[in-house]
Amino acid sequence: MFSQIIERASRAKQTGLRKELEQLCLRMLSEGGSSNSAHIAGGIIEAFATLDARAKLAFFEFLDRSLGLDPVRVLEAATRYAEDPVAERALEVQRVTEPPRQELLRRINRAPGGTAAIVAMRRDLLRVIGEHPQLRAVDSDFRHLLASWFNPGFLFLQRVDWQSPAALLEKIIRHEAVHAITDWSDLRRRLRPDRRCFGFFHPQLPGEPLIFVEVALLDAIPRSIGQVIGGDDDATAPVANARVAAFYSISNCEPGLRGVSLGNFLIKQVAEQLRRELPSLKRFCTLSPIPSFRAWLERLDIDRLPEAWQARARAGVSTAVRELRARHGTGLEALAAQAAAGAVGDDDQRRLALCAGVFLACESTTGHADPVARFHLDNGARLERINAAADLTSKAIDESLGVMVNYLYDLDAIEANHERFVRGEVVRSRSIAGIT
């Protein structure tokens, strides 16, 4: 009883706050471009921060309903424009087809801390959008503006190393999503002289990495993650002779920027910068997981492969899969256990590489594509080499049975590769072309 009363009071208060917030928004939009809006914008940011989850949802619904498009005005303008497509009427169309909430966000952005506040708002929005698909139109406006503001041309690339502020390094530890950083000593090893870490930063969010990539400078393209992380500080190789830069981890830090593509730009800018700094570098590659490989392999049905691949797959892959399943169970449990123990035999390693090669080569342009493969191939990389028994951590076993891939970035070929990929072709090294 009592707690119900309290909750009702609290909810009433939240509703009041939310309505005030909505009034502020409407008032700011009514200002004819006045600079006072920076002041109101500050109030909006503060007010939003006091809302609880339920009130925030209601506010997002307000953005949807009250600050969206007006179908009648849209249709009128479109009709007039179709009748006589002159500049003036085109402008009228654009005016009525941009939802007022876009202007609202632009004005919020004028306040100190505005950009960070908008990113945070979108974080909240993305949390509820799954259950409230009608908010996708609202989210589209957030994403549209953030993509424009977090344009790679506005970001700056910054090296992260042991001279970086501890507050920044702490965020690197927290956000590393591919190969977890266990502690400060582990981080220190990843920032030693023959390793590199670079992040993208926005001028309005100093000290906040948006995305970062970790690179190992090596003699040769690495076959396993053990060649890259772990081990001892003192084993630093002389950087001036490194021939290969291996991108082994790329992590987004800001969920509020989901859908704003930064990774592809980051990899290329880092490759360019390393090429300038270290002329000895001849090859830029990745060492990447295949997160959806095991699931694909367990459920593989040759008949559902793209037609062009079925004949080839029947010749090689189907035998390999049959044998793997026969020896290790349909769920490949025994194989996974062996992989975790580092005890996969040579034959099974060959089989796994064969299957992974076919998976990556034939599915990368279908709906079953591996997301990592899709990212790098669309980005213009070449499928270079499959490495079985390359990562024995439990996540890697669960997802990809320990297999890792090298994608190769040949900076002079990435445009051509990308275009071939867009036309449905996966560019492969000769060795992979051989097995697939």
Q: Give the Cα separation of 427 and 364 in Å (integer).
A: 11
Measured CA to CA, the distance from residue 130 to residue 47 in angstroms comes to: 25
User: Rounded distance, CA 67 to CA 99, Å?
Assistant: 6
311-325 in b/e form (b: 16+ CB < 10 A) is eebeebbeebbeebb
Interacting residue with a copy of itself among 11, 53, 154, 241 (CB under 8 A):
154
Among 23, 140, 319, 330, binds a copy of itself (CB under 8 A): 140
Q: Identify the residue among 130, 133, 367, 434 touching a copy of itself (CB under 8 A).
A: 133
Options 50-58, 104-112, 288-296, 424-432: segment touching a copy of itself (CB under 8 A): 104-112
* Least distance between a copy of itself and beta carbon 436 (Å): 24
165-171 long-range contacts (CB < 8 A, ≥24 apart) are 165/207, 167/207, 168/207, 168/209, 171/208, 171/209, 171/253
- Residue 378 contacts a copy of itself per CB under 8 A: yes
Site for a copy of itself contains 109 (CB under 8 A): yes
Nearer to a copy of itself, 54 or 73 (CB): 73
Rule CB under 8 A: say whether 337 interacts with a copy of itself.
no
| Closer of 65 and 299 to a copy of itself (Cβ) | 65
Toward a copy of itself, which CB reaches closer, 27 or 312?
27
Given the complex with a copy of itself, which of 85 and 345 has the nearer CB atom?
85
Q: Which of 37, 249, 376, 400 is catalytic?
A: 376
Out of 158, 261, 273, 310, which residue is the one contacting a copy of itself (CB under 8 A)? 261
Could you tell me how many residues of this chain bind a copy of itself (CB under 8 A)?
A: 80
DSSP 193-257: TTEEEEEEE-TTSTT--SEEEEEEEESS--SSGGGTSSS-GGGPPPGGG--EEEEEEEEE--GGG
Nearer to a copy of itself, 91 or 180 (CB): 91
Alpha-carbon span 105 to 143, nearest angstrom: 11
Q: Which neighbouring-strand residues pair with 251?
A: 212
Residues 292 to 321: which contact a copy of itself by CB under 8 A?
Answer: none
- Is residue 177 at the binding interface for a copy of itself, with CB under 8 A as the rule? no
Work out how close the CB of 104 gets to a copy of itself at its nearest, in angstroms, rounded to a whole number: 13
**How many Å apart are CA 414 and CA 429, to the nearest integer?**
14
Question: What is the biggest distance separating any 2 CA atoms in the chain, rounded to whole angstroms?
Answer: 75
**Which helix (H) or strand (E) element contains residue 386?**
strand 382-387
Does 204 help bind a copy of itself (rule: CB under 8 A)? yes
Cα separation values, 307 from 15, 89, 314, Å: 57, 49, 11
The verdict on 97 binding a copy of itself (CB under 8 A) reads yes
Q: Kindly state the smallest distance separating residue 255's Cβ from a copy of itself, in Å.
A: 20
| Touching a copy of itself, residues 12-31 (CB under 8 A) | 31
* CB 111, CB 49: distance < 8 Å: no
C-beta of 164 vs 310, nearer to a copy of itself:
164
> Is 376 one of the annotated active-site residues of the chain?
yes
Closest approach, Cβ 155 to a copy of itself, in A, equals 10
The single residue among 239, 418, 429, 435 that binds a copy of itself, judged by CB under 8 A, is 418
Q: Is 240 in the site for a copy of itself (CB under 8 A)?
A: no
What are φ and ψ of residue 249, in 5° steps? -165, 135
- Cα separation values, 48 from 52, 65, 73, 246, 309, Å: 9, 18, 30, 43, 54
Beta-carbon count within 10 A of 179 CB = 22
Give every CB contact of residue 313 below 8 A, 6+ residues apart in sequence.
302, 305, 358, 362
Asked whether position 180 contacts a copy of itself by CB under 8 A, the answer is: no
Binder of a copy of itself out of 1, 5, 166, 235 (CB under 8 A)? 166
153 vs 434, which CB is nearer to a copy of itself? 153
Distance separating the N- and C-terminal Cα atoms of the chain: 69
* Among 48, 60, 149, 150, contact with a copy of itself (rule: CB under 8 A): 149
Instruction: Identify residues 207-236 at the interface with a copy of itself (CB under 8 A).
Output: 207
Whether 132 is a known active-site residue: answer no
Q: How far apart are the C-alpha atoms of 102 and 48, rounded to whole Å?
A: 17
Per DSSP, helices labelled H in 364-429 are 371-378, 394-400, 414-422
Out of 112, 193, 230, 329, which residue is the one contacting a copy of itself (CB under 8 A)? 112
Instruction: Return the axis-axis angle of helices 136-149 and 100-108, rounded to nearest 10°.
Output: 50
Q: Which of 114, 209, 256, 289 binds a copy of itself (CB under 8 A)?
A: 114
User: Among residues 288, 292, 364, 400, which one is catalytic?
Assistant: 288
Q: Does 86 engage in binding with a copy of itself (CB under 8 A)?
A: yes
Q: Cβ 347 to a copy of itself, closest distance in Å?
A: 40
- What residues act catalytically? 288, 376
